[in-house]
Structure formats: C-alpha cells, structure tokens
Amino acid sequence: MAGCLPVDRHRHPVFYDKKITQEVPTDTLVSEWAGYILRITGGNDEQGFPMKQGVLLPYRIKLLLSDSHSCYRPCRTGERKRKFVRVHLLSVVLVKQDEGEIVGLTDDVLPKRVNKIQCFFNLSKEDVGKYVVRRDPKIQCPVTPIRLQRPRHLKSLVCRRSEHQKEQKAEFDSDTLKAENLKMRIQKALYEKAR
C-alpha cells in the first residue's frame, strides 16, 4: 500500500536525516498508527521539485543531471541540464501492518473495477454490487444496459449509413443511365436530321 505524506519540520522530525528506502516506525507520528512501519520511496516539495537519492541537504539545490540520473529525461543524446531537487512531500509504502485498521488507509483495499471484483470473489456480473464494502457503492466501469446498447447503436448507425449510400449510388447510376440514353437519342436525331 503506497501513499503520500506531507512532512513538517516541527511535527514530523522522525523523517529528517532519513534516506530513500529507509524504514520509519510510525509510533511517534499518530497514536493510532502504532505498530506500523513505512518505507520512504521518494517525494517532492511544495513547488513540485523531486526528491533525489543521495541528496542529504534540507534545502533545495541545483544539480547537473544527465540521462543516467533520476529526476531528468533528456531530449537529445548526451544532453545535460541543471535541475532543482529537494524534499517536502514524502512518498511512503506500508511495510508492516498492525492488527488495527487505519480508517481510509488500510480498511479500503478491495478492488473497484467490476471485472477485478468478479475475479476477486468469483462472481457473475449481476452479483457485483452485493460485495461492495461501502453503503453507496462506487464501482468503476459497471456494465449497464445503456453501456451494452451503445455499441449496438453505433453499429446500426454504420449499417444505416451504408444502406443510404447504396441507395444514393443506385439512384445516381439510374440517373446517369437515363442521361446517357437521352444524349444518345439526341445525337441519333441530329445525325438523321443532318442526312
């Protein structure tokens, strides 16, 4: 389970002087989180400048980065650029979980998409709504009659359009045939008149 955690110097001193991939116990953060352990996976500051492994300073610095470094993706081969790196908002991963549940973090780990709920509980399409934990189920991508009707409707539009085009082509061909016949009769009449 992963998430982001805003870090304040005075409220969260446990995260200071820590590096990426180090594990931090959450006993000092919140009393309800006792027994949990978080691993630092990255982060960024208020302006969006990323955290870089190996930078141990508490303020923003500018580094010359190339294609072999993280936090920079060059446009051309051999291109290098000076970029700011810093840390304020940490990305953390839950490594060890206690018996208690944290509301909104560890109690809601069920899948949300219909087909994943079906695979998780081995259900049919009609029974998916019964296995949602919340009172108001927010299932992503539910298969409804309108959702099934849409491709049928689009296919019928394509069929109708092609039939209409065939009718127009047949009408055009008959009109051109009539015009050619009329032209031939006029030419024949002029030819006979000229004799």
Per-residue pLDDT band at 186 (split at 50, 70, 90): very high
Lowest mean pLDDT among 22-31, 56-65, 127-136, 154-163: 127-136
Tokens coding 108: 């809601």
For the chain, give the percent of residues with pLDDT over 90: 23
Beta bridge partners of 94: 38
Residues 78 and 164 in one domain: no
Residues 44 and 102 in one domain: yes
Residues 170 and 88 in one domain: no
The predicted pLDDT at position 18 comes to 74
- Domain total for the chain? 3
Measured CA to CA, the distance from residue 64 to residue 66 in angstroms comes to 7
What's the pLDDT tens digit per position in 105-138? 666 566 667 777 777 777 776 676 666 655 555 6
* Single pTM value for the model: 0.42
Residues 135 and 155 in one domain: no
Residues 17 and 102 in one domain: yes
Contact assessment for residue 112 and residue 118, using Cβ atoms and an 8 Å cutoff = no
Residues 37 and 70 in one domain: yes
Domain that holds residue 157: 148-195
Lowest mean pLDDT among 74-88, 134-148, 164-178: 134-148
The predicted pLDDT at position 104 comes to 62
Residues 34 and 101 in one domain: yes
Residues 122 and 168 in one domain: no
Residues 114 and 103 in one domain: no
What does the DSSP assignment read for 44-55? E-TT-PBP-TT-
Instruction: Tell which of 143, 167, 186 closes a domain.
Output: 143
Residues 117 and 178 in one domain: no
Residues 76 and 135 in one domain: no
Residue ranges of the alpha helices (H) in 18-124?
114-121
Element (H, E) at 13: none
